[in-house]
């Protein structure tokens, strides 16, 4: 998990204002915060936001917001990222999700388990992953909202641009 946040921090290094959508307990948020000027972390779970605020390291000031993307509506960010979120969004609502992301930021990173990895997942995990995608599926979705889309894969802690169907986890970078 930390390798994913480190990869995002490298991709967004030097950005001024970044939004994390679906921060959960913000376990990896401080890694990204060290590379950007300002990080706003958002989640719909009040307990997760409370926990994140309680454990916040004052050295890496993060603004935590309770709610969905509409909770920061009207604001613009230089970039947005969401890790392990899109696979929980119903396919019928993914267009709305991505439209909101595109309105909030001109750069977007989406990270999610690959559809191919789900054959090996625990039944509980599979039941909650209602929208995992193939490499082409994620690229197609992102291309509807961002002009350029770059695809990356991750196996264990190694990021690559290799053979998509072998990826355990994938990233799409839309600009």
Q: What is the pLDDT of residues 81-99, one digit of tens each?
A: 999 999 999 999 999 999 9
pTM for the whole structure: 0.94
Assess contact for 83 and 5: CB atoms under 8 A: yes
Q: pLDDT tens across 143-172, in order?
A: 999 999 999 998 766 666 776 777 789 999
pLDDT, the chain, mean:
93
Segment-wise mean pLDDT, segments of 10 residues, the chain, 175 residues: 94 98 95 97 97 88 96 94 97 97 98 92 89 96 98 78 78 97
**Sheet bearing 108-113, strands edge to edge:** 62-66, 38-43, 17-21, 79-83, 108-113, 169-174, 149-155, 158-160
């Amino acid at each position: 998990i930390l390798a994913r946040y480190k990869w995002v921090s490298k991709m967004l290094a030097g950005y001024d204002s970044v939004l994390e959508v679906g921060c959960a307990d913000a376990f990896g948020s401080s890694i990204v915060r060290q590379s950007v000027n300002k990080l706003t972390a958002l989640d719909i779970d009040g307990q997760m936001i409370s926990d994140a605020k309680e454990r916040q390291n004052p050295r890496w000031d993060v603004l935590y917001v309770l709610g969905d993307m509409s909770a920061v509506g009207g604001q613009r960010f230089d970039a947005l990222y969401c890790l392990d979120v899109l696979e929980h969004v119903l396919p019928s609502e993914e267009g709305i999700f991505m439209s909101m992301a595109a309105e909030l930021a001109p750069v977007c990173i989406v990270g999610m388990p690959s559809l191919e990895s789900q054959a090996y997942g625990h039944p509980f995990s599979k039941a909650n992953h209602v929208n995992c995608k193939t490499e082409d599926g994620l690229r197609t979705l992102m291309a509807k909202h961002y002009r350029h889309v770059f695809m990356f894969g991750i196996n264990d802690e190694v990021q690559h641009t290799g053979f998509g169907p072998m990826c355990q986890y994938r990233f799409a970078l839309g600009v």
